[in-house]
Amino acid sequence: MGKILDGKAFANELGQNLKEKVKKLKEEGITPHFCVINIGDDPASKIYVRTKKRRAEKMGIIQDIYQMPADTKQEEVLALIDKLNADPEINGLMVQLPAPEQIDADALLKRIDPNKDVDALTPANIGQLWMENHFVEPATAEGIIALLKHYQITLAGKRVVVIGRSNIVGKPVAALMLEENATVTVCHLYTKNLAEITRQADIVVSATGQAFLVNADMVKDGAVVVDVGMNHVNGKLVGDVDFDNVKEKASYITPVPGGVGPLTVQFLMEAVVKLTRRQNGRE
């Protein structure tokens, strides 16, 4: 039976260290301050934003939420981004995705100052990621790598299969795994014979948002399984992985909830503090 990769406990451990860093910055008159722009009424987005705010408060970080109506025009959001980019008191900035149909999310991300990009989703920071010259990383991907290292799971030389190719999770995870000298295969909607590919993997990372996609037949004995999915089934939060059955074959496995999710929020806070320190000459 697989050992649980406890992301919640690890996030809390990291949180204690980050609180001390923030405390020292405050003693120097510096308070990390970041802003979240949320457009529309997507229920999941509102939950994420509130979760981030609670975590920020625990860390001693100031978080402002700019809640904009669902019919907000592109130009209004761009103007707000320009304003926050120019404000020296703001250390970090992010746009909560998804955005309403009339909004070009890529254009918004391009407008964010890369030096304030806590999500690491601007073209400049994505380019730095693939060049292995990055200062900040997308939070979920960074959290996954940190969690595996925390449990002393070797990545070099391992065969890693990432299911999902989003800019937020799948592609950044692949980039960071390559940086750790893993051999990486990225699978997606058009991948044929998915189970044949995943059965060869030492580490499987699923980030599709498709409940119970990964079953026990798709995982070899002793594999490490990382579940990034968040799906609601019959009022219950579940992942992409059939946890109860897959855990019997895996050597390590993340639960949902309590696995990757808490680390995503924590590493967002880590990015805010890193950017704040750099902006104040304290790298």
Omega cis (within 30) before 43: no
User: Is 119 an annotated catalytic residue?
Assistant: yes
β-pair type (183-187, 203-206): unpaired
User: Is 96 an annotated catalytic residue?
Assistant: yes
Q: How many angstroms from the chain centroid is the CA of residue 124?
A: 18
Helix (H, G, I), strand (E, B) or coil at 24: helix
Give, in order, the Cα–Cα distances in Å from 46 to each of 23, 38, 43, 59, 259.
28, 8, 5, 20, 21
Q: How many angstroms from the chain centroid is the CA of residue 203?
A: 18
User: Is 249 an annotated catalytic residue?
Assistant: no
Residue 153: both structure tokens together:
């799971």
Query: 10 Å Cβ neighbour count for 262?
Result: 23
Half-sphere exposure of 126 (CA within 13 A, CB side): 15
Q: How many angstroms from the chain centroid is the CA of residue 28?
A: 30
Residue 281: both structure tokens together:
């000459």
DSSP code for 2: P
Annotated catalytic residue within 63, 96, 227, 247: 96
Annotated catalytic residue within 6, 119, 202, 240: 119
Annotated catalytic residue within 52, 116, 158, 171: 52
Report the catalytic residues.
52, 96, 119
